[in-house]
Amino acid sequence: MAVTQAPTRELTPEPRGRLLVWLTTTDHKKIGILYLVNSFSFFTVGGIFALLMRTELARPGQQLIGAHAYNELFTIHGTLMIFLVIFPILAGLGNYFVPLQIGALDMAFPRINALSFWLLPVGGLTILSGFLAKGGAAACGWTCYAPLNEQLGTGVDLWLAGLILVGTASILGAINFIVTILRMRAPGMTMMRLPVFVWGILATSLLVILATPVFTAGLIMLFADRRLGTSFFDPAHGGVALLWQNVFWFFGHPEVYMLILGAWGVVTEILSVFSGKPIFSYRGVVLSFLMITALSFTVWAHHMFATGAVELPFFSITTELISIPTGVLFFVWLGTLWKGKLRFEVPMLFALGFIALFLIGGIDGVWAASPAMDFAIHDTYWVVAHLHYVLFGGTLFGIMAGMYYWFPKMSGRMLSRKLGQWHFWLQFIGFNVTFFPMHILGLRGMPRRIADYAPDRGWSFLNLVSTIGAFLIAISLLIFFANVLTTLRKPRSAPADPWQANTLEWATSSPPPPHNFDALPAIHSGRPVYDARVAEAGPTDRGSR
């Protein structure tokens, strides 16, 4: 096997004491794990909030919580899941695997990398501290539209402060990813040999750099309205309430792609590995990622069709246009599977589940691109279903595929296949039982963001079904957590490449050493580990994959 000497550097000695090592580390692998632990902790909190809301909605009348408490839970649930769960999990996987996949020693700026992580738990706890403040936590919805953002008390102020910290962390992290990918690739790792996951992280980082500063500025403006006497968004004093919606969604729709581009990369890599084929159209994936990145800044006002203050034809057309490169990705995924030697390991199950669920979410989105249809379903439970099919059915299934795929590399241990299968099927069934009925509820006119409904509206049965599904999801996630915790107590036994994979992270031990690589395989294509494996096996096995 042809190898190249791995790059070297003088490693900074870490302080003694296991806890202190983790608190002060600048190792990208440890920081990646910290991201994952932090994100799944907030995921647990956000999931409990979701169960409380679904239990309240299972039947008409007040069951557990009042209307104001429901609004608090709704606001913080959405905020946690979007800003402190999905995006940071992908950032954690990116922190761990981007340097490994490009043959680098670490991220470009290790100390900034540590800072960008530690801002996240501080920001999240700042948001949650609103529950202890006078007036309670923010109850203005996770979009916090004016005039709801004029809520008295300090809950909204803490929400704003927490999101400013989270936004700052995202910007710092994005700069780090961009510099790392552009400047720290190993010899032979050209841009068109980058793993698709790395392209997903790069596209995500570009979106963060362009969109998040706008949102952060809007948060500061809203804080100034509340505490410094300005009136950017207050119509009573000359402000424009819809300005906040424009600021929010100019960030908010690119944010959807920030939350899913990395998951697309994960799924594309997994489909290639477990079908035994190269990616059907690598260049098609890369071009689709870049087209989506550009077009995502032209569609934000489709969230505002019902306001009457936007150009309906323009934003309808751009929303339909962005579905074209997304459709290309489906053809790539199906082409990768076609006539492949499929291995239905747990990562592959979650990747296939992702394709099915994201397809439904994507079709929902095309419906909403039509202003006439949007007027009928705007702010109904149809929108709730669409959002969750894209971000839960899409991104979270992609994340789970990545967790099962890369867990052996991170820990040196293989998760239980049987428990993983139970996790997948319960989560897949529970997800559809929870969110598919919401399409019907939306078409029947049930508005979102309500804590109660009249018993004669015909919504009771489907809400009960959705609540049952939510508890199935909770059970599936408990199985996942139990699988992780029990596996971590076992001795390390995972080989360096348990999946017969393609990319550089599988060329080092499981888990990798502090310096990542003792030696790198020669990089002559986008599948260096596969190339090295074929070279070792000899010419008789060259047609096996």
Q: How far is CA 85 from CA 80, 166, 167, 522, in A?
A: 6, 11, 14, 37
What confidence tens digit (pLDDT) does each residue in 75-114 have? 999 999 999 999 999 999 999 999 999 999 999 999 999 9
Q: At 3, is the secondary structure helix, strand, or coil?
A: strand
Structural contact between residues 350 and 424, judged by C-beta atoms closer than 8 angstroms: yes
Residue ranges of domains in the chain: 25-544
Half-sphere exposure of 103 (CA within 13 A, CB side): 28
For the chain, the average pLDDT equals 94
What confidence tens digit (pLDDT) does each residue in 320-344 have? 999 999 999 999 999 999 999 999 9
pLDDT at 542 over 70: no
Q: Is 370 exposed, middle or buried (0-12, 13-18, 19+ CB in 10 A)?
A: middle
DSSP for residue 228:
S
What confidence tens digit (pLDDT) does each residue in 308-322 have? 889 999 999 999 999
Task: Give the span between the Cα atoms of 140 and 78, in whole angstroms.
Answer: 11
Structural contact between residues 119 and 31, judged by C-beta atoms closer than 8 angstroms: no
Q: Interior CA angle at 28 toward 25 and 34, to 5°?
A: 65
For the segment(s) 25-544, the CATH number from 3.40.190.10, 1.20.210.10, 3.30.830.10, 3.40.50.2000 is: 1.20.210.10
Report the Cα 226 to chain-centroid distance in Å.
31
Q: How far is CA 47 from CA 77, 358, 470, 475, in A?
A: 8, 21, 9, 11
What confidence tens digit (pLDDT) does each residue in 393-415 have? 999 999 999 999 999 999 999 99
What confidence tens digit (pLDDT) does each residue in 425-436 have? 999 999 999 999
**What per-residue confidence (pLDDT) applies to 90?**
98
**What per-residue confidence (pLDDT) applies to 237?**
87
